[in-house]
Amino acid sequence: MKSIVVLISGRGSNMTAIAQALRDERWPARIACVVADRPGAAGLARAREQGIDTDVVDFRAFDSRAGFEAALASAIDRHAPDLVVLAGFLRILGDAFVDRYAHRMLNIHPSLLPAFPGLHTHRRALEAGVAVHGATVHLVGRELDMGPIVAQAALAVRPDDDEDRLAARVLALEHRLYPAAVRWFVEGRLALQDARVVLSEPRPGETRCLWGG
């Protein structure tokens, strides 16, 4: 049984999608704790509703990033997780923290990386006039929103898309993409070859590239 700690800052819809898939598909894993960086994160209540333990390490209580990250690491390590899942965790992480969880920390980002790291990805994608947009799950590296790509979900941008419509369609894809990628990790089917991710023993229909509408 693998142990997962999920870090959130907000509504936690990706965390919920992962928790549901884990239950429905009976993965050999459990979410040991959902940890938020602020007490007002709406996802905390959603986790509790599903019977998942929660914890808060409030970033406002610390005057340095190092202090916050040390407290966060001890809240995580208490559960000795095999995997740390960043699910809308909106803090920039220092090198020591990233290195501590090297090869066992995943993130989801709402763009087709390496395009549009950082904030306001949907607005920037529309402004750039891209025809294809989406989301990426990756192993967390030292550079913001970067690291070996595990899987990507893509969709065609529609002429009448605005930021909200595009965000909603990408989010629906995220809810399919992230559980699949976490499941592969839990099943031990992800490996790094030359700093690139390889999925072993793909089953029929399983692909690192998901297409949506």
Give catalytic residue positions: 109
By the rule CB under 6 A, 13 interacts with ligand GAR: yes
Position of tokens 């800052």? 9
Task: Using the rule CB under 6 A, give the single segment among 8-16, 51-59, 66-74, 188-196 that binds ligand GAR.
Answer: 8-16
Residues in contact with ligand GAR, total (CB under 6 A)? 16
Task: Using the rule CB under 6 A, give the single segment among 56-64, 68-76, 105-113, 195-203 that binds ligand GAR.
Answer: 105-113
Q: Exactly one of 109, 122, 133, 169 binds ligand GAR (CB under 6 A); which one?
A: 109
156 to each of 37, 134, 146, how far by Cα in Å? 34, 9, 23
By the rule CB under 6 A, 174 interacts with ligand GAR: yes
Q: Exactly one of 7, 10, 46, 157 binds ligand GAR (CB under 6 A); which one?
A: 10
By the rule CB under 6 A, 12 interacts with ligand GAR: yes
Across the strands, what pairs with 149?
Answer: 138
CB of 90 to ligand GAR, least distance (A): 6
CB of 50 to ligand GAR, least distance (A): 14
Interacting residues with ligand GAR between 62 and 91 (CB under 6 A)? 87-88
**Nearer to ligand GAR by C-beta: 74 or 177?**
177
User: Quick check: helix, strand or coil at residue 141?
Assistant: coil
By the rule CB under 6 A, 136 interacts with ligand GAR: no
User: Which string of DSSP letters, residue by residue, matches 155-194?
Assistant: EEPPTT--HHHHHHHHHHHHHHHHHHHHHHHHTT-EEEET
Q: CB–CB of 124/167 below 8 Å?
A: no
Residue 213 to residue 133: CA distance in whole angstroms: 11
- 51's CB contacts (< 8 A; 6+ apart) are none
Position of tokens 């790291």? 117
Structure-block tokens of residue 188: 């031990």
Q: Exactly one of 5, 29, 93, 108 binds ligand GAR (CB under 6 A); which one?
A: 108
Q: Exactly one of 37, 69, 145, 161 binds ligand GAR (CB under 6 A); which one?
A: 145
**Nearer to ligand GAR by C-beta: 17 or 203?**
17
Backbone angles phi, psi at 187, to 5 degrees: -80, 0
Q: CB–CB of 50/72 below 8 Å?
A: no
Residue 168 to residue 118: CA distance in whole angstroms: 18
Residues lying near ligand GAR in the complex (CB under 6 A): 8, 10-14, 43, 87-88, 108-110, 135, 145, 171, 174
